[in-house]
Structure 1
Amino acid sequence: MPTGNPKPQTIATEKYAKKAGWISKSYKLKKDVVDEYTQACKRAGVSAAGQLTTMMKSFAKEVNGAKYHIIEKQEKS
């Protein structure tokens, strides 16, 4: 939970993120790499976060093998 005296909306947002399995990660990368990636995502018409997720899943599946790949939640019909 947030520290200090958070507003009710902040508490609700944090509660939802935890329940939904969202986390925030921070990486230090060179500015030119990030700028090039951002530009490529814009040109491709994809979100930077969505593309990063796709690349992370693909890499994890390739390295760890099918035994450990992330299983996508199937939408209810």
Structure 2
Amino acid sequence: MRNIRHSVGRNAVNNRQDVIIVQSLLKRHGASYVDVDGICGPLTKKAIIEFQSKFYTHPDGVITPGKKLQYT
């Protein structure tokens, strides 16, 4: 799987190819309701927050290249 180049999620760049990568990963990790269509719509943003909430106390709704998980 390729790496994303730009941020994906709420108020992010949301490059189509990056969104497809994130959607594919979200779907693989339980967000079966997410379509892999390259559009960062409400369901994709919801899935990002749900996924981040497993690791963050305050999920920001953005997937950023190179961002390290900070458990708080």
Is the pair's TM-score, using the shorter chain for normalization, greater than 0.5? no
Which of the pair has the greater relative contact order for Cα pairs under 8 Å at 6+ separation? 2
Q: Which has the higher helix share?
A: 1
Per the normalisation by structure 2, the TM-score is 0.35
